[in-house]
Amino acid sequence: MMRTHSCGELRASDAGSEVRLAGWVHHRRDHGKIIFLDLRDASGTVQVVVHPDVGVDAESVQREYCVSIGGTVEKRKPGTENANLPTGEIEITARSLEVLSPSETPPFIVEDGVDVDDVTRLKYRYIDLRRPEMQHALRLRAKVVGEIRSYLDARGFTEIETPILFKSTPEGARDFLVPSRLQRGSFYALPQSPQMLKQILMVGGMERYYQIARCFRDEDLRADRQLEHTQLDLEMSFVEQEDVLQLLEGLFIHLWRECVGVDVEQPFPRIPYAEAIRRFGTDHVDLRYGMELADLNEVFSETSLGIFRSVITSGGTIRGFAVPGAGELNHAQLKRLEHAAMDRGAKGLAWVILRDGGEVDSPLAKHLSERERNGIASATDGKPGDLILMMADKAEVVNPILGALRMELAKERGLIPDGAWKFCWIVDYPFFVWNPDEDKWDPIHHPFTMPVGGGETLDGDPAAVRASAYDLVLNGLELLSGSIRIHRPDIQRKVFDALGISPEDAEERFGFFLEAFRYGPPPHGGIGCGIDRVMMQMLGTENIRDVVAFPKTQSGVDPLSGAPTPVDPDQLKILGLRPLPS
C-alpha cells in the first residue's frame, strides 16, 4: 500500500497510529540533527519529524521532492501546536523515508500569494497547480458542475453532447476553422455555442436538454475571456420566459447554498434594460452600493453654462452621480478621473464637491446658481463631503462612461460591502441595435430570439421592437444570457429581412436549421451560462486564469506547450494547404 492516510486528515485522535504517507516536501527545516519536513498532498499538510537515531536519510531531501514516509502519529508537545493547520496538534515521527522522485529547485515557491509573473505561472502550470489556492479553485469548480448536473437531472433534463466539429455559422465573433482532409477546400468550425443544435434538439422532441459545453471564439482576450470557455448550455420546450427564469433562479440559489454556504436574497430583482441604463449606465448592474446616475437636465434648464445649454437644446442629456466621501480628492486625482472619462470618448468631465451650507468647490462654481447647487445635491442624493461627477453629451455617450466610472470608483474607494451577493435579471431588451459602421441593424443578442408580441412588431420601427431576452447579472458581471426562441419560420424570415440577410444568404448560412423548422418546432427557450465567470464570482477573482486549469496569455499563447506553433509541411500538404509568405 502506497499510503494509509492523506496528510491533511490526521488529527489528535489518531495519536499512536502507524501510518504511511506520500506527497511533496513543502518545507524543510534543520534544527541541529533533527530535521522537520512539512509534507503536503492534495488534502493538506502535516509536520514530519526525522530524528538522527532512526536510520532515516533525510539529508538529501529538498523542497518539492516527492516522497513516501512511514511513521507514528504523535501529539505535539504543549506550546508547539500550530493553530494555522488542521493537523497542527500532531506530527509524524518518521521510521522510514523513500524518495519517489527528486525535484529540481522550482521556479517559484508553492505558496498562495507568491509574487511571480503570470507567464512564469503558466509556463510552469504544473507547479502553480500545487498551490492550495489553485487546488481549491479546481475542486470547487468540479463541485459546481456536479451540483448543476444533480439539479437539472432531478428536473427531467437530459445531458446531450453536441459536435465540436460543425458548420461555420458566424455568431458575432470569428470562428476557429478546421480544414477537412476528406473534403479538400472545405472547413469545419469549432462552435461558438451549440445554439442551433440545441434548438434542433427541441424540434427532435427532447424537450429538456443541457450540456456542459466547450465553446470557442477567435476574439481578443480579456481578464474575463479566453479563446475557449465552458458554458452551461440549456434549452426547454413548451415554456415561457417566466418558466426559464424560475428554473435558473432556483439553480443559482442552490449553487450558492451548496458551494458557497450562503443563502442569497430572493427573488432576484427584475430590471428592464432601459431602467438599468438609466440608473447604472450599463446592463452589467452592480446593486451592492448606491451611486445611481441622476438626470440633471431639469436642474440645468436655465443654466448660463453654454456647453450645458447647447447639449440640452440639441436633445442631449446631462447626468451625474455622487461619490460618497470623495470630496477629499485633490486636483491631480480629479484630473486623473477626467482623463479616464476622455479616454473612453468623453469630451470632458465636470465635478462639484459639496460643502456645508450649500456651498460647493468646482471650476464651475461661479456659474452655478443656488437653485442649481441645491438641485445637483438633491438629484444625486449628495451630502456634504461628496464628489459629484457630471457629463453632458448624447445619452449613448454619457451613460456607459459614467457607468464605468461608477464601478471603478466604488472599488477604489472601498464602497463595496464584503460578502454581498446581489443577483438581478435584466429583461425587456431591445431587439435591434444600430450599427453605424455597417449602416444596418444588428441583433442585440442573436437573430433566433422571439420578438415580444411576435412577428407583428417587426412591421414598424426596428428601434421599438423588444426581445424576449434576459441576462442574469451578479455584482456587475453577466453570468448568463438567454431568450425565448423563434419557433415560427415566418417570424424568422421577418427577422432576417430586418437584419438585411437575404433569403439566399440565410439559406447558405442556416439552411439546415430552417429546414428543421418546417416540421412542427415547439415553443422553446434557454440560456448559455459561463461556468468560468460563475467561478470567478464564487472565488472573488477578477482574472479567468485563476479558475481555469490551463489558460492562455493575453496574446493567446500557451506558455506551457508553446502553442500555437507551426506544423510540419507534410501535414499541410495532406490537407491541401500551404502557408502564405510572411
Task: For residue range 438-464, list pLDDT tens digits in order.
Answer: 888 889 888 999 999 887 788 888 889
Say if residue 401 is in the same domain as residue 443.
no
Residue 118 maps to a domain: no
Q: Which helix (H) or strand (E) holds 423?
A: strand 423-430
Q: What is the mean pLDDT of residues 169-196?
A: 89
Cβ-based neighbour number of residue 108 at 10 Å: 15
Say if residue 252 is in the same domain as residue 294.
no
Question: 236 with 524: CB under 8 angstroms?
Answer: yes
Structural domains counted in the chain: 3
Distance of CA 294 to the CA centre of its chain: 28
What is d(CA 65, CA 524) in angstroms, rounded to the nearest whole number?
56
Residue 172 has a pLDDT of 65
Residue 471 maps to a domain: yes
Q: What is the mean pLDDT of residues 154-178?
A: 90
Task: Identify the sign of the CA torsion 366, 369, 372, 373.
Answer: positive
Rounded (10°) CA dihedral 85, 90, 94, 98: -30
Which tens digits make up the pLDDT trace of 94-141?
999 999 999 999 999 999 988 899 999 999 999 999 999 999 999 999
Residue 558 maps to a domain: no
Among candidate residues 43, 35, 42, the one with its CA nearest the CA of residue 71? 35
Question: 430 with 273: CB under 8 angstroms?
Answer: yes
Say if residue 488 is in the same domain as residue 441.
yes
Q: What are phi and psi of 553, to 5 degrees?
A: -80, 175
Q: What is the mean pLDDT of residues 196-214?
A: 97
* Among candidate residues 78, 101, 124, the one where a domain is terminated: 101
Q: What is the mean pLDDT of residues 413-441?
A: 93
Residue 201 has a pLDDT of 98
* Among candidate residues 40, 75, 101, the one where a domain is terminated: 101
Residue 460 has a pLDDT of 81
DSSP 8-state secondary structure symbol assigned to residue 181: S
Residue written as cell 453629451?
Answer: 393
Q: What is the mean pLDDT of residues 403-429?
A: 97
Range from 9-23, 48-62, 485-499 carrying the lowest mean pLDDT:
48-62
Q: What is the DSSP string of 523-539?
A: PEEEEEEEHHHHHHHHH
| pTM given for the model | 0.93
Range from 82-96, 428-442, 550-564 carrying the lowest mean pLDDT:
428-442
Q: Which residue has the higher pLDDT, 67 or 222?
A: 67
Residue 437 has a pLDDT of 85
| Mean of the per-residue pLDDT values of the chain | 94
Say if residue 323 is in the same domain as residue 250.
no
pLDDT band at 170 (very low <50, low <70, confident <90, very high): low
Residue written as cell 459614467?
Answer: 402
Residue 485 has a pLDDT of 97
Question: Alpha-carbon Rg of the chain, whole angstroms?
Answer: 30
Residue 559 maps to a domain: no
Domain at 509, CATH number: 3.30.930.10
C-alpha cell at 311: 447639449
Say if residue 327 is in the same domain as residue 406.
yes
DSSP 8-state secondary structure symbol assigned to residue 327: G
Residue 576 maps to a domain: no
Residue 21 maps to a domain: yes
Q: Which domain holds residue 426?
A: 135-270+422-546
Q: What is the mean pLDDT of residues 461-482?
A: 95
Residue 107 maps to a domain: no
Say if residue 433 is in the same domain as residue 491.
yes
Q: Is the pLDDT of residue 31 over 90?
A: no
Residue 288 has a pLDDT of 97
Domain at 393, CATH number: 3.30.1360.30
Which tens digits make up the pLDDT trace of 501-533?
899 999 988 999 999 999 999 999 999 999 999
Q: What is the mean pLDDT of residues 273-280?
A: 97
Residue 580 has a pLDDT of 82
What is d(CA 438, CA 137) in angstroms, rounded to the nearest whole number?
42
What is d(CA 204, CA 197) in angstroms, rounded to the nearest whole number?
10
Q: Is the pLDDT of residue 171 over 80?
A: no
Say if residue 376 is in the same domain as residue 349.
yes
What is d(CA 397, CA 382) in angstroms, rounded to the nearest whole number?
23
Residue 115 maps to a domain: no
Taking the alpha carbons at both ends of the chain, their separation in whole angstroms is: 57
Among candidate residues 172, 167, 165, 204, the one with its CA nearest the CA of residue 508? 167
Domain at 41, CATH number: 2.40.50.140
Q: Which residue has the higher pLDDT, 578 or 319?
A: 319
Among candidate residues 215, 551, 128, 415, the one with its CA nearest the CA of residue 543? 551
Say if residue 219 is in the same domain as residue 303.
no
* Among candidate residues 412, 444, 473, the one where a domain is terminated: 412
Question: 507 with 471: CB under 8 angstroms?
Answer: no
Residue 412 has a pLDDT of 96
Residue 461 has a pLDDT of 87
Cβ-based neighbour number of residue 239 at 10 Å: 20
Side chain identity, residue 150: S
Say if residue 155 is in the same domain as residue 244.
yes
Question: 311 with 303: CB under 8 angstroms?
Answer: no
Residue written as cell 512511514?
Answer: 70
Residue 451 has a pLDDT of 94
Say if residue 180 is in the same domain as residue 212.
yes
Residue 458 has a pLDDT of 86
Q: What is the DSSP string of 428-489?
A: EEESEEEETTTTEEEESS-TTBPBTTGGGGGGS-GGG-EEEEEEEEETTEEEEEEEEBP--H
Say if residue 261 is in the same domain as residue 150.
yes
Task: Identify the sign of the CA torsion 536, 541, 547, 553.
Answer: positive
Say if residue 255 is in the same domain as residue 334.
no
Q: Which residues pair with 371 in a beta bridge?
A: none
